[in-house]
Chain A
Amino acid sequence: MSFMDKVLRFFRKKDAVVLPADEKGEVVIEVKDLVMEFKVSKDKIDTLKEYVIRTIKRNKKEKQKIRILDGVSFNVHKGERIGILGFNGAGKSTLLRIIAGIYEPTEGSIKIKGKLAPLLELSAGFDKNYTGKNNVYLNGAFLSMDEEFIKEKYDEIVEFSELGEFINYPVKNYSKGMKSKLGFSIATAVNPDILIIDEILAVGDIKFKQKSSAKLKDMMKSGATVLFVSHALMDILEICNRCIWLENGKIIMDGDTKEVIDAYVERSKKK
C-alpha cells in the first residue's frame, strides 16, 4: 500500500470490513434492516427563488415519501448465487443499487467484503464523441479499474467485444447492440468477488448472447458470489442456489430456488 493510499484511508476512516462468519460460512454481504424512502412531490421546489417565496408565504407542501424497501435483512455467504424475484416495483433494482453504492439507504446498514462488479447499466459511462478505444479507458476508470489493469486487459476487451475495426470509430456511430457488447466486455474484464447483475444476460445478437452468458457462468463458477435480478425464471433456476422474493419492499420468502420460484409462480396465477 502506497503512502497516498494511507492518506486516502485516513480521510475516509474506512477500515477493512470484518464480517463474522455464521453457521453457513463466511459472510460477504450483510444487509441489516434496510429502509429506503424516496421523496415524491408533485411540484418540487428546485429554485432558490421558489424556496424563498414559499417560505415567506408559508406555502410549503409536505413532501410525500414512498417506502421502496421496508426492513430488508439478509446475509450473503461466500460463493452463494442469489436470485432476487419480485413483481415490478417490488424494490429489486433499488436494492441492487444500494448494494452497488449508488444510493445511500435511509435507514439500516450494509457491509460488503471484497471487490464488487456491478453490471447494472452497461453503457452509462460512454461518451458518445469518443472512439470505442477511448471509451474503454474512460469506462474502465468509472468502474474503478486502474490504468495498468485496463492497459493489460485492453486487447482482451476488444477481442471479446467483436468490434474489430469499429473500435476506432466514435461511439455515436455504434448500433445499440455494438454499444452493449462493448459495455459488457469492459464490465466483465474484472475478476470480482461479488457480481451484481440486473437483467443483462441477454446482450447483443444470438451469437453474442451465448458468448456473454457463457462468460458470466464462467465468472460465477470461479467462485464469485452472485446477486442476480431477473424475470427470466429459467435463468434463475439454472444459475442460482438461493432465492429471495421481494414484494412491496419486504422479503416474502428466502430459501431454496425451486421452492421460492414455485411459490412465486403460484402467486402470479392468483393475481
Chain B
Amino acid sequence: MFDTFSEMKFLLKQLVKRDLTSKYKDSVLGILWSFFNPLLIMLVFTAIFSMLFGRTIENYPVYFLSGRLIYDFYNNATKGAMRSIKSNAYILKKIYVPKYMFSISAVCYEFVNFLISFVILFGVMLITGAQFHITSLYAIVPIFFLVILIFGVGLILAVCNTYFSDIGYLYNVFTLILMYASALFYPMEIVPAQVQMIFTLNPVYSAISCFRECVVYGIAPNLNTLAYLAVFAFTVLGVGILLFNIYDKKLSLEI
C-alpha cells in the first residue's frame, strides 16, 4: 500500500482537489472569493492606516498586501495542517492511508490559494503604478523556506491537536500575536530599536521582509535574514518529522 511515488502523487492530487471543490462548491462567486477577501481587507487597512503611515511607507496598499499574503498563507496552512488528521479521522479509522498525506495535502491546498492571491498583489501593483522588478524572481527562495517552516509547524500541531483538542484556541491567540509581530500594516521604523531585535527572531517576519525586498523594493534579499529563516525552517521541520514519526502509530488509537 502506497509503495510507489505515483500512488502518493495521485492521492495528494485528489485530496487537494477535494478541498478546493468543497471550498467553492456552494458560493456563487466561486473562486472569486479568494480574490475578494484579501482585496477587501487591504482596502480597509489602507483606508485606516495610510493616513498614519502614508508618509513613511511609499506604496501602502502594496506594502500591506505583500505582508498580508505571506502571513495569511502561514496562518491558514498551519491551521489546516493542524486540523488535517482529526477532520479525516473517519477515513483513517477505516482505510490505511499514511496520515501525513492529509497534513501535506492541507498545506498544498493553501499553497494553491496563496498562488491565486498573487494575482491580487500584481493587480494592485499595476493599478498603483508600482514598479515591477526582475528581483521578484528571488522571492521563490524565501517562499520555499516558508513552505518548509509550515510543513514543520503543521506536523507538530497535527500531533498535538489529536491529543489535546484545545490546542486550536491557544494557537489562534499565538497567530494573533504573530500577526502584530510581523509588521504587516505599520513600518518597522516606528518600533523601538530594542524591540526590533525580537521582530528579527520571528521567522514569519523574516519571510515577509525578504519577500518585500525582492518584490516591492527590487533588491536582493538580506542574506542573514534568509539564512536565519532557512535554519529555523529546517530545524522545525526536523522536529516535526521526528515528533510525527514517534506518534504516528499511536495516533490511530487517539482519533
Residues of A whose CB lies within 8 Å of any CB of B are 1-2, 4-5, 7-8, 14, 38-39, 46-49, 51, 100-104, 116, 118, 120-121, 124-125, 127, 129-130, 134, 137-138, 140-148, 150
Number of residues of chain B lying within 8 A (CB) of chain A: 36
The answer to whether A101 touches B15, judged by C-beta atoms less than 8 angstroms apart, is: no
A104: chain B residues at CB < 8 Å are: 249-250, 252
The answer to whether B94 touches A138, judged by C-beta atoms less than 8 angstroms apart, is: no
* Of A4, A38, A121, A129, the contact of B5 (CB 8 Å cutoff): A4
Query: Smallest Cβ distance from A118 to chain B, in angstroms?
Result: 7
* Complex: A90 Cα to B113 Cα, angstroms: 48
Which B residues between 1 and 57 are near A, CB-CB below 8 angstroms? 1-11, 13-15, 18, 21-22, 25
* Of B4, B91, B170, the contact of A5 (CB 8 Å cutoff): B4
Contact with A along B205-231 (1 / 0, CB 8 A): 000000000000000000000000000
B5: chain A residues at CB < 8 Å are: 2, 4-5, 7-8
The answer to whether B4 touches A118, judged by C-beta atoms less than 8 angstroms apart, is: no
Closest to A150 in B: B10
Q: List 10 additional A-B contacts (Cβ < 8 Å) besides A121-B95, A129-B25, A141-B14.
A: A8-B4, A48-B166, A103-B253, A124-B94, A124-B95, A125-B91, A127-B18, A129-B21, A134-B21, A141-B7
Does B176 sit at the interface, judged by CB under 8 A? no
**Number of contacts between A and B (CB, 8 Å)?**
98
B96: chain A residues at CB < 8 Å are: 100-102, 118
A118: chain B residues at CB < 8 Å are: 95-96
Query: Smallest Cβ distance from B25 to chain A, in angstroms?
Result: 6
B92: chain A residues at CB < 8 Å are: 102
The answer to whether B165 touches A142, judged by C-beta atoms less than 8 angstroms apart, is: no
A46: chain B residues at CB < 8 Å are: 163-165
